[in-house]
Amino acid sequence: MEQRYATNPDQIPGMTTDELRERYLVPEVFVPGEIRLVYTHHDRIVLGGAVPAGSQLALTGYPEIRSDYFLEHRELGIVNVGGPGTVTADGEEYALATGACLYLGRGIQSVSFADADAGGEGAQFYLFSAPAHTTYPSALVGPGEGTVRELGDQVTSNRRTLNQYIHENGVKSCQIVMGVTQLHPGSMWNTMPAHTHDRRTECYLYFDVPDDARVIHLLGEREETRHLVVADRQAVISPSWSLHSGVGTAAYSFVWAMAGENQAFDDMDAAPVTDLR
């Protein structure tokens, strides 16, 4: 488990491109046959990926979180961005189609990942975890079965379908808010106007990005913006003080996930385009 310590906005002006990428970009989320995890001290989130690649992978305890088992004092949101797969939690097996979301609550001792079809496209499970103070029931939501919101406009190149899975009016959790957004063909902006929410950290996993395309992810304060160039299946850590918005050279999808002070999806502070520098 890689550790990344918290940063503050005063550090942004002096950072080089390499320093920005070292702190906020997770370039290798999915590695065949492995579970890769990053612990960020921003809201003590753990994010990463599990790629069974024909084997069965077990999610264990880690010394960085001082736990005998991973969910001893945490909760976990999982989105499958690969082929069909299964997650087994304390003996109960959940089948995750592409795009499905599974919530696992605090106290589950055994979690493992596997492919559903040994001869087909392998599963790729995106993992997002936060500390939990109580236990909520495990819940599986199929692709497109959450709360669906149509946002944006083709005129401003940000027409998108937003699927809310784990949220205050959907699957219950202690802290996690999680879903998937898909840009419509011809749309490239994922959030514009940009915004911040100083009460929680948000992480983006970009996927369905064509091999010859990239997403330009904006971060930093509205008066001191920077950017990251992001490829397919790479993740970005966005601290609570940082705005987050992005534009691609082609349409794409992304998993958004948050943890922090509250779970109100619309609790955000807009950063109008005219204020950005």
Q: Which residues sit opposite 74 in a β-bridge?
A: 131
Beta bridge partners of 210: none
Instruction: Calculate ∠ Cα 175-178-182, nearest 5°.
Output: 165
Distance (Å, whole) CA 38 – CA 40? 6
Contact 181, 254 (CB under 8 A): yes
The predicted structure's pLDDT at residue 190:
87
Tally of residues, the chain: 277
The ranges assigned to domains in the chain are: 14-275
Nearest to 115 by CA among 60, 51, 58: 51
Q: What is the pTM of this model?
A: 0.94
SS3 call for 79: strand
CATH of domain 14-275: 2.60.120.10
Phi/psi region, residue 82 (left: phi>0; alpha: psi -120 to 50; beta: rest), is beta
What per-residue confidence (pLDDT) applies to 44? Answer: 96
Show contacts of 162-167: CB within 8 Å, 24+ apart: 164/265, 165/77, 165/79, 165/101, 165/103, 165/141, 166/77, 166/101, 166/103, 167/263, 167/265
Cα–Cα distance measured from residue 98 to residue 140, given in angstroms and rounded to the nearest whole number: 13
Centre a 10 Å sphere on the Cβ of residue 198 and count the other Cβ atoms it contains: 13
Which pLDDT does position 43 carry in this prediction? 95
Spell out the per-residue pLDDT of the chain, length 277, in tens.
999 999 999 999 999 999 999 999 999 999 999 999 999 999 999 999 999 999 999 999 999 999 999 999 999 999 999 999 999 999 999 999 999 999 999 999 999 999 998 767 899 999 999 999 999 999 999 998 888 888 888 887 888 998 999 998 899 999 999 999 999 999 999 887 787 777 889 999 999 999 999 999 999 999 999 999 999 999 999 999 999 999 999 999 999 999 987 777 677 777 888 888 9
